[in-house]
């Protein structure tokens, strides 16, 4: 657990070098003691430019921190940036250096850390390191910073409540169950990205089962083939999930029920997104003779579910899946990390046109219009990155060849239509970073540990659907009128939430993520036939 100092732990006194002026925020000591009691190690991550400005001495700061610990209890590490903004150091928040420093000192990695802070720089530093962030606004916090935060709490005790509740969700005690698990049917329909973010939950089930059979839809099949822990895949479109929905065909429903019965599953775990109901499929599973069924359901399930799980709104989708697996009796093993993962042995090599690793991948398209990068912005990004010395590969599906050709003409390499999902993962694996909207390739990058510049339209919550546990910089207007509408067609002319992003911000994001220009700028129009 990482905590900002001024405005988060103690009242913000500008350039304070006087221990007598230290005033804890209300409830701070009790909240921190609850974190300590939960076994969490604590570090403070704080910008202290007053040192560089000569406002106080290192000894003054030491006495202030001694007073903080006298009032709030001990911290396991203090990570301090002593530089001024003009120094352009790698540690001053929003740069991620302090987060990396604190994680090392605590014997962990940033992706296992949460940072609580009161301004956008705290959230940006956390995201750029791959850590989670919880914002506790003060009167000094800008509205735009609140809108962009992945999670917002009312105060420090509320932030601690949020963190501890999420810990309990994914480590829920398993119900009393028989020792032999046999075959477990897991279900995750919808698109590739939805299947990818369910991966940690599926791995948790696989760790406690002899065999895992995954039921998915046609759009998720390619992603399902890349997930660890899956022994067999059943591909079947579900008319209450897929969009556009196929008609309900009684013969097809009977055939699906028979196919599910043939699996011989001892258990079933139905993973869904927050807006989907598991109950239609639960009914078919009952008819198929599956005796034990678990799912998240706000609706009363009657006899359709044996484990009816509840999850608060806003929990990241991978944690939502992990929490259901744990409630069903399949907690993630201690030796597994809760991030996304792929079976890298199944990744085909990247096309030869990709060239040596270290390039930047730009994926401008999306199956959902509102989540795509506007073509004019994508074109300008390629031009700016190329001028800065980055080799840019432009990727897209077979139906996006015209889009990728237009974007790549600004100085990138066009791989549009040349990569299936597996090949695309191979391309991303060699990248220094991925520039992408809220679409499946962002989750591929997260699973591969590749940093993401996320051009994220706010139609769905970033904290729930953003790249999970991977260094990320979010760009775009998080407070745009389309916020939380779940719109698939842009309700505001001109796509302003993303079209207003300046390409130079993407270049700045790459620098923040530590992505160097790998090669000389390519010749404009480097299109691969």
- In 36-152, DSSP assigns E strands to 43-47, 77-81, 114-117, 132-135
Please tell me the CATH code under which domain 347-513 is placed.
3.40.50.2000
Q: DSSP string of 449-462?
A: T--EEEE--TTS-H
Contact (Cβ atoms closer than 8 angstroms) between residue 332 and residue 338: yes
> Encoding tokens for residue 169?
């969700």
Is the confidence at residue 39, as pLDDT, over 50? yes
Q: How much is the mean pLDDT over the chain?
A: 93
pLDDT over 70 (residue 413): yes
Cα-to-chain-centroid distance, residue 366: 17
- Beta-bridged to residue 115, according to DSSP, are 2, 133
Edge to edge, the sheet with strand 392-394 lists 413-414, 392-394, 360-363, 433-436, 452-455, 472-475
Helices (H), 137-278: 143-148, 156-170, 192-197, 199-207, 221-224, 250-263
Whether pLDDT at 528 is above 50: no
Report the C-alpha gap between 474 and 488 in whole angstroms: 20
pLDDT at 525: 43
- Main-chain phi, psi angles of 437, to 5 degrees: -85, -165
- Angle, in degrees to the nearest 10, between helices 58-72 and 28-37: 80
Residues 154/237, Cβ–Cβ less than 8 Å: no
**Rounded distance between C-alpha atoms, residue 286 and residue 293, angstroms:** 8
Give catalytic status of residue 4 as yes or no. Answer: yes
pLDDT digits (tens, 9 = 90+) for 81-135: 999 999 999 999 999 999 999 999 999 999 999 999 999 999 999 999 999 999 9
Residues 451, 432 contacting (CB under 8 angstroms):
yes
Read off the pTM. Answer: 0.93
For residues 298 and 310, the answer to whether their CB atoms sit within 8 Å is yes
Report residue 56 as tokens. Answer: 């106080």
State the pairing for strand pair 360-363/433-436: parallel
How far is residue 134's CA from residue 150's CA, in Å, rounded to a whole number? 7
The answer as to CATH 3.40.50.2000 being correct for domain 176-328 is yes
Write down the pLDDT at residue 46: 98
Same fold, 2-170 and 347-513: yes
519 pLDDT higher than 70: no
Measured distance CA(388)–CA(431) in Å, rounded:
16
Beta strands in 275-375 (DSSP E): 293-296, 307-309, 360-363
Asked whether residue 180 carries a pLDDT value surpassing 70, the answer given is: no
Tokens of 386: 């190329």
296-309 tens-digit pLDDT:
999 999 999 999 99
Q: Could you give the CA distance from residue 414 to residue 514 in angstroms, rounded to a whole number? A: 25
Query: Are the C-beta atoms of 454 and 442 separated by less than 8 Å?
Result: yes
Please report the pLDDT score of residue 518 as a whole number. 63
Q: Rounded CA gap, 118 and 259, in Å?
A: 53
Pick from 437, 517, 431, 433: nearest CA to 474:
437
Q: CA dist 481 to 40, 343, 455, 459, 509, Å? A: 39, 39, 16, 9, 24
**CA pair distance 286, 288, nearest whole angstrom:** 5
**Rounded mean pLDDT, 198-220:** 96
- Out of 4, 118, 190, 414, the active site residue is 4
Residue 466 has φ and ψ, to the nearest 5°, of -70, 165
What secondary structure does DSSP assign to 400-422, as a single string?
GHHHHHHHHTTT-EE-TTS--HH
What span, in angstroms and rounded, lies between the C-alpha atoms of 436 and 455?
A: 6
129, 389, 470, 523 from 444: Cα distances, Å: 18, 25, 11, 28
pLDDT at position 68 is: 98
Quote the CA–CA distance of 153 and 25 in Å, as a whole number. Answer: 14
Domain limits, the chain = 2-170, 176-328, 347-513
Determine the Cα–Cα distance for residues 446 and 127; give it in Å rounded to an integer: 12
Confidence of residue 350 (pLDDT cuts 50, 70, 90): confident
What are the residues facing 78 on neighbouring strands?
44
520: pLDDT strictly greater than 70: no
pLDDT tens track for 319-344: 999 999 999 999 999 899 899 999 98
> 2-170 sits in which CATH class?
alpha beta
pLDDT tens digits for range 456-493 = 999 999 999 999 999 999 999 999 999 999 898 888 88
Residues 41-96 have pLDDT tens digits of: 999 999 999 999 999 999 999 999 999 999 999 999 999 999 999 999 999 999 99
pLDDT of 380 above 70: yes
How does pLDDT run across 223-277, given as a tens digit for each residue? 999 999 999 999 999 999 877 777 899 999 999 999 999 999 999 999 998 888 9
Sorting pLDDT into bands at 50, 70 and 90, what band is 349?
confident
Q: What is the largest CA-CA distance in the chain?
A: 79
Beta-carbon contacts of 399 under 8 Å, excluding residues fewer than 6 positions away, are 417
Q: Name the burial class of residue 324, with classes exposed (0-12), middle (13-18) and buried (19+) by CB atoms within 10 angstroms of its CB.
A: buried
Instruction: Spot the catalytic one: 6, 118, 190, 266.
Output: 6
């Amino acid at each position: 657990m990482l905590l900002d100092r001024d405005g988060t732990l103690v009242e913000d006194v500008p350039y304070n070098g006087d221990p007598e002026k230290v005033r804890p925020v209300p409830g701070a000591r009790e909240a921190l003691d609850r974190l300590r009691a939960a076994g969490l190690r604590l570090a403070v991550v704080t910008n202290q430019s007053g040192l560089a400005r000569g406002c106080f001495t290192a000894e003054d700061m030491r006495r202030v921190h001694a007073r903080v610990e006298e009032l709030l209890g001990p911290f396991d590490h203090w990570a301090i940036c002593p530089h001024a903004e003009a120094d352009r150091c790698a540690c001053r928040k929003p740069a991620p250096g302090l987060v990396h420093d604190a994680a090392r000192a605590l014997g962990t990695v940033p992706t296992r850390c949460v940072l609580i802070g009161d301004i956008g720089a705290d959230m940006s530093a956390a995201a750029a390191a791959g850590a989670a962030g919880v914002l506790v606004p003060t009167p000094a916090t800008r509205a735009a910073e609140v809108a962009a935060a992945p999670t917002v709490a009312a105060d420090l005790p509320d932030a601690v409540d949020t963190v501890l509740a999420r810990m309990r969700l994914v480590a829920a005690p398993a119900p009393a169950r028989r020792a032999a698990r046999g075959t477990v049917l897991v279900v995750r329909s919808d698109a590739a990205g939805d299947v990818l973010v369910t991966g940690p939950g599926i791995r948790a089930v696989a760790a406690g089962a002899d065999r895992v059979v995954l039921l998915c839809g046609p759009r998720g099949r390619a992603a399902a083939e890349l997930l660890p822990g899956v022994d067999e895949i059943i591909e079947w479109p579900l008319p209450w999930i897929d969009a556009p929905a196929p008609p309900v065909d009684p013969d097809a429903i009977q055939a699906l029920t028979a196919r599910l019965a043939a699996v011989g599953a001892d258990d079933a775990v139905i993973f869904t997104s927050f807006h989907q109901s598991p109950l239609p499929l639960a009914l078919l599973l009952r008819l198929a003779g599956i005796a034990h069924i678990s799912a998240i359901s706000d609706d009363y399930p009657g006899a359709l579910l044996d484990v009816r799980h509840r999850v608060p709104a806003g929990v990241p989708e991978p944690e939502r899946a992990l929490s259901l697996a744990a409630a069903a009796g399949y907690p993630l093993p201690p030796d597994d990390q809760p991030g996304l993962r792929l079976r890298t042995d199944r990744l085909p090599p990247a096309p030869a046109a990709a060239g040596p690793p270290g390039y930047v991948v730009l994926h401008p398209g999306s199956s959902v219009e509102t989540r795509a990068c506007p073509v004019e912005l994508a074109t300008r990004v390629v031009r700016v990155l190329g001028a800065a010395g980055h080799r840019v590969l432009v990727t897209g599906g077979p139906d996006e060849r015209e889009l990728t050709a237009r974007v790549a003409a600004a100085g990138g390499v066009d791989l549009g239509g040349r990569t299936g999902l597996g090949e695309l993962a191979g391309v991303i694996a060699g990248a220094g970073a991925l520039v992408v909207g809220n679409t499946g390739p962002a989750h591929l990058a997260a699973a591969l540990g590749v940093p993401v510049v996320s051009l994220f339209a706010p139609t769905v919550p970033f904290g729930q659907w953003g790249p999970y546990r991977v260094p990320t910089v979010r760009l775009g207007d998080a407070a745009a009128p389309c916020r939380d509408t779940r719109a698939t067609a842009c309700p505001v002319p001109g796509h302003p939430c993303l079209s207003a992003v300046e390409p130079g911000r993407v270049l700045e994001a790459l620098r923040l993520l530590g992505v160097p220009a790998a090669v000389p700028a390519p010749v404009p129009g480097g299109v691969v036939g």
